[in-house]
Amino acid sequence: MSDSQPIIRVRGLRKHYGPHPVVQDVSFDLRVGETLVLLGPSGCGKTTLLKTLNRLVEPDAGTVEVQGQDVRAQRPEELRRGIGYVIQQVGLLPHLTVAENVAVVPKLLGYPAPQIAARTEALLTRLHLPPARYANQYPGQLSGGQQQRVGLARALAADPPIVLLDEPFGALDPITRADIRREFRELDELRLKTVVLVTHDVTEAFELADRIMLLDSGKVQQLGTPRELLFQPANDFVRRFFEAERLTLQLRTLTLDDLLIDLAESSTGISIDYSQSDQSIVHSNVTVQEALERLSAPSTTLHAPSALWIQPVTSEAIGAHNHTLDSTKVATKEALIPVTLPALMAAFGQAVQRLQRP
């Protein structure tokens, strides 16, 4: 398999249970290292679709290729060795310790004991379960969030190139869930893997996905980046699905980079006291949400800064900034672009309008 070939290739997949179509003509390609989130209302077929990838469900029609090979040509056990799998009900073996649970698959694969021990220790450490404290505990002695981390460590133990996750954070309270999601995003181990994750949580999908597949009644309604689904919805179902959280999602999806053109316009005429000492610098790749929080949260001086200085960090931003400098002559702090709260809000509004235009 060459690098340009998809690691997962699905064509014309269909599955019925009795008379009910559960997966209807689904096709997609996944690139190595990509995270695809399957999103949609309860019962829309997310789990069924996920399980066709590791042959826990056999489709009625269509093909699934993993690493260039039709999965039907591979023995299910062998196929699953290259595919980590995490489910909401974790499924840890209660009579095995944490370390033994993590070691199950590498042991089955006959890895040497010292290699398994080193891998287990490294994974537990990375997942914030210090081995000295947790390796010899039993699942029943752990919190739900800790069990979930062990489940993830177990799925990663044999270093599979693909990981399937079915509502992996579903059983956790919202705070633990947000924490684990952040850890999950920051885990180098997972950045290199191809991940397919099932959720019905829109925020989770937007935080974790490179692309989202939004399903309804087993049919793909749209497959695209979070930004595409938000700003170029393919149909009314997609539009309605994100309606309740639209503003929050827009604030978290757009970055200051996206607003630079609009900031050039909305900053004109706003007077900024450049001498003020409480202004702080943000990189242009932060989300609008983060910038808003910075401008409205109390700073160390117990009041919010009156302005932020945006430091362009991407080549597009630097290009746009040169344009800003020419047109507005904001040259006092050459490398930085000033923004106040009203200017940020105005630019955000303009950017949303611009991006929503067909």
Ligand X SMILES: Nc1ncnc2c1ncn2[C@@H]1O[C@H](COP(=O)(O)OP(=O)(O)OP(=O)(O)O)[C@@H](O)[C@H]1O
46-54, 112-120, 204-212, 270-278 -> range binding ligand X (CB under 6 A): 46-54
In whole angstroms, how close is the CB of 237 to ligand X at the nearest point? 15
Residue among 17 and 274 whose Cβ is closer to ligand X: 17
Bridge partner list, 65: 9, 70
Q: Which stretch binds ligand X (CB under 6 A): 39-47, 138-146, 270-278, 325-333?
A: 39-47
Q: How many helices (DSSP H) and strands (DSSP E) are in the chain?
A: 17, 13
Using CA atoms, how far apart are residues 109 and 71, in angstroms rounded to an integer? 20
Taking CB under 6 A as the rule, does residue 233 contact ligand X?
no
Amino acid, single-letter form, for residue 182: R
Query: Smallest gap, in angstroms, from Cβ of residue 47 to ligand X?
Result: 3
The residue from 8, 44, 86, 213 that contacts ligand X (CB under 6 A) is 44
**19 vs 358, beta carbon nearer ligand X:** 19
Q: Does 13 bind ligand X (CB under 6 A)?
A: no
Residue indicated by tokens 């450049």 = 274
**Of the candidates 8, 39, 45, 195, which one interacts with ligand X according to CB under 6 A?**
45
Based on the shown chain and the rule CB under 6 A, indicate whether residue 338 belongs to the binding site for ligand X: no
Contacting ligand X (CB under 6 A), which of 46, 177, 211, 294? 46
* 42 binding ligand X? (CB under 6 A): yes
Bridge partner list, 73: none
Q: Positive or negative, the Cα torsion across 255, 4, 49, 149? A: negative
Q: How far is CA 314 from CA 232, 283, 285, 310, 326, in A?
A: 24, 9, 7, 12, 19
What's the rounded Cα separation, in Å, for the pair 245 and 203?
8
Residue 20 CB, nearest approach to ligand X (Å):
6
Binding segment (CB under 6 A) for ligand X, from list 1-9, 42-50, 244-252, 298-306 = 42-50
* Stretch touching ligand X by CB under 6 A, among 35-43, 171-179, 239-247, 297-305: 35-43
Q: d(Cα 127, Cα 124) in Å, to the nearest integer?
A: 5
* Of the candidates 356, 324, 326, the residue with the CA atom closest to the CA atom of residue 343: 324
Q: Answer yes or no whether residue 144 interacts with ligand X by CB under 6 A.
A: no
Residue from 31, 200, 219, 239 in contact with ligand X (CB under 6 A): 200
| 48-77 residues near ligand X, rule: CB under 6 A | 48
- Number of residues interacting with ligand X: please give it, by CB under 6 A: 11
Residue closer to ligand X, measured from CB, 14 or 126? 14
Phi/psi at 119 (nearest 5 deg)?
-65, -45
Could you tell me the maximum CA-CA distance found in the chain, to the nearest angstrom? 72
Q: Which is nearer to ligand X, 206 or 231 (CB)?
A: 206
Q: Does 86 bind ligand X (CB under 6 A)?
A: no
The residue among 47 and 137 lying less far from ligand X, judged by its C-beta, is: 47
168-171 own/partner pairs: CB under 8 Å, 24+ apart: 168/86, 168/87, 168/88, 168/197, 169/199, 169/204, 170/88, 170/199, 171/88, 171/89, 171/90, 171/144
**What is 147-204 written as a DSSP string?**
HHHHHHHHHHTT--SEEEEESTTTTS-HHHHHHHHHHHHH-HHHHTSEEEEEES-HHH
Residue choice 22, 103, 320, 352 for contact with ligand X (CB under 6 A): 22
Cβ atoms of residues 159 and 194 within 8 Å: no
DSSP string, 80-142: HHTEEEEETT----TTS-HHHHHTHHHHHTT--HHHHHHHHHHHHHHTT--HHHHTT--GGGS
Q: Using the rule CB under 6 A, is 239 a contact of ligand X?
A: no
Nearer to ligand X, 183 or 245 (CB): 245
Q: Does 47 bind ligand X (CB under 6 A)?
A: yes
- Interface pattern 159-198 for ligand X (x via CB under 6 A): ----------------------------------------
Nearest residue (CB) to ligand X, 131 versus 170: 170
Does 305 engage in binding with ligand X (CB under 6 A)?
Answer: no
Binding site for ligand X (CB under 6 A): 17, 22, 40, 42-48, 200
